[in-house]
Amino acid sequence: MPVASSRPLRARSALEKIRRRDEILRAAERLWLSTSYADLSMNQIAREARLAKGTLYLYFDTKEELFLALLHEYLQTWFQHFNDLLGARQPRTPSEMTATLIVALEGQDHLRRLLLLLSTVLRSHLSPEVEADFRRDMHQLLQQTVHRMPYTPDINRQILIHCYALAVGWQQMAAALGQVPGPDAAICEKEKEGAFRLALEAIIERLGQQAQAS
């Protein structure tokens, strides 16, 4: 005889719906730490969240939509963190701006992995409405941030775009080459961080020169 669940089949209040949605996202996040995106299924996520699969689809139509929502959370948190750093550090030079971005990106491996999914997988199965909502929200976050950075909004926007391209590029390269085994792993990671910093600072320096010349 099946055991009745103590959890209601459907969340009835707005607060219950918010909590249920968060439970689903946390379940997907836990599974994603040990399972590749390609190997994850909505069935697995439903089981991890202790929900019927049909209940899961009340919140997300596809796995891509679910992970886009998870990425949205990560990006909101990152932009808030970066804006806090801008307020605290008040960067003015290319090296200061680079250092601030480097600090903001520390410990953001999960965000980088999600951004890699965005560029290669997630958009392939999104409804136009969901993608439009995501683009609108990201544009708002970007607009709030570029006015806090030390250059013109246009230059600041270019800095963030290049930072995104570099971060995702490094993540893609790491995924393609795999982890370096043994004691050489730490050396390889240090070299990667140094190269990332060098490329980012060179871009910011060049964009800053363009801003001064215009």
Q: What is the pLDDT of residue 193?
A: 75
Q: Of the candidates 110, 53, 122, 44, which has an alpha carbon nearest to the alpha carbon of residue 77?
A: 110
> What is the structure's pLDDT at 139?
94
Q: Could you tell me which of 159, 164, 176 has the C-alpha nearest to residue 114? A: 164
**pLDDT of the chain along its 214 residues, tens only?**
333 444 445 556 889 999 999 999 999 999 998 899 999 999 999 999 999 999 999 999 999 999 999 999 999 999 999 999 999 999 999 999 999 999 999 989 889 889 988 877 887 778 899 999 999 999 999 999 999 999 999 999 999 999 999 888 877 766 665 554 554 444 456 666 778 889 999 999 999 888 777 6
Please list the alpha-helical segments (H only) found in 106-152. Answer: 109-120, 128-146
Candidate CATH numbers 1.10.10.60, 3.40.605.10, 3.40.50.2300, 3.90.550.10; the one for domain 1-60: 1.10.10.60
Query: Which pLDDT belongs to residue 42?
Result: 96
Asked if CATH classification 1.10.357.10 holds for the domain at 63-213, the reply, yes or no, is yes
Q: What is the pLDDT of residue 190?
A: 63
Cβ atoms of 52 and 11 within 8 Å: the answer is no
Do the Cβ atoms of 54 and 45 come closer than 8 Å?
A: no
Long-range contacts of 99-103 (CB under 8 A, 24+ apart): 101/159, 101/163, 101/200, 102/193, 102/196, 102/197, 102/200
63-213 matches 1-60 in CATH topology: no
CA distance 213 to 153: 16
CA distance 156 to 49: 40
Q: Delimit the domains of the chain by residue range.
A: 1-60, 63-213
pTM score: 0.84
Calpha distance 46→63 (Å, rounded): 11
Residue 196 has a pLDDT of 85
